[in-house]
């Protein structure tokens, strides 16, 4: 869970997914005259290690090698790709194929007992073991339906992942007042131009 996920009231059970998907920030619109710069929080293996350590997902002394870093980037790419499909499309196995292949590298095993009644553990025991929590969040979220509310902003110049808290769960933009209005204004102008 991060400041961002709290600010936007993302459920804790999806917070790692939300944060991980948004480590890639492709926003490139201008807001209040300030151009937004694209930014990748995971520019290198050390960045991934820091990101994981911040969330207590990195075992002490574990080292993220360049090869492991590539695996993590592949997971992020397929996660973002999956999240850009609307929930109905996600039921189609084709939409989930790449993500399924990516999370196959993060197997989990179940253990009964303990305070929660049961726990899922990472099978991996390398530096990426902690990212297995993403597979668990995907599974839980898909089963209880909350994953349907984790979406990617429809604005091409945004592509931010957001949690849709609206009752009907039909939001398409991360922030209607920002991305939604920008697109509506543009569509309006284009229509006006068409009339001239």
Compute how many residues bind Zn ion; rule: CB under 5 A.
Answer: 6
Binding part of the chain for Zn ion, among 28-36, 77-85, 127-135, 166-174 by CB under 5 A, reads 166-174
Binding segment for Zn ion (CB under 5 A), chosen from 31-39, 90-98, 106-114, 169-177, is 169-177
* Smallest distance from Zn ion to CB 88, Å: 21
State yes or no: residue 79 binds Zn ion (CB under 5 A). Answer: no
Q: Which of 83, 129, 174, 183 binds Zn ion (CB under 5 A)?
A: 174
Q: Is 158 in the site for Zn ion (CB under 5 A)?
A: yes
Helix (H, G, I), strand (E, B) or coil at 85: coil
The secondary structure of 110-131, three-state, reads: EEECCCCCEEEEECCCCCCHHH
Q: Determine the distance from the C-alpha atom of residue 43 to the mean position of all C-alpha atoms in its chain, rounded to a whole number.
A: 17
Which residues, numbered 101-140, are part of the site for Zn ion (CB under 5 A)?
none
Does the footprint of Zn ion cover residue 179 (CB under 5 A)? yes
DSSP label at residue 27: -
96 with 164: CB under 8 angstroms?
Answer: no
User: Of 75 and 174, which has the nearer Cβ to Zn ion?
Assistant: 174
CA distance 124 to 138: 17
- CA-wise closest residue to 88 among 80, 96, 79: 96
Residues of this chain that interact with Zn ion (CB under 5 A) are 153, 155, 158, 160, 174, 179
């Amino acid at each position: 869970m991060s400041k961002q996920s709290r600010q936007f009231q993302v459920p804790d059970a999806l917070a790692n997914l939300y944060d991980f998907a948004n480590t890639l920030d492709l926003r490139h619109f201008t807001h209040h005259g300030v151009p937004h710069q694209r930014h990748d929080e995971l520019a290198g293996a050390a960045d991934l290690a820091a990101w994981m350590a911040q969330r207590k997902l990195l075992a002490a002394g574990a080292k993220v090698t360049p090869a492991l870093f590539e695996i993590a980037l592949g997971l992020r790419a397929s996660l973002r790709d999956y999240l850009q499909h609307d929930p109905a499309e996600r039921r189609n196995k084709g939409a989930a194929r790449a993500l399924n292949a990516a999370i196959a590298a993060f197997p989990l095993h179940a253990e009964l007992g303990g305070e929660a009644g049961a726990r899922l553990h990472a099978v991996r025991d390398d530096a990426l073991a902690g990212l297995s929590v993403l597979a668990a969040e995907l599974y839980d979220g898909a089963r209880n339906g909350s994953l349907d509310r984790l979406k990617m902003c429809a604005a091409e110049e945004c592509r931010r992942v957001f949690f849709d808290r609206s009752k009907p769960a039909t939001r398409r933009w991360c922030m209607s007042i920002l991305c939604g209005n920008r697109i509506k204004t543009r569509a309006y102008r284009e229509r006006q131009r068409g009339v001239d």
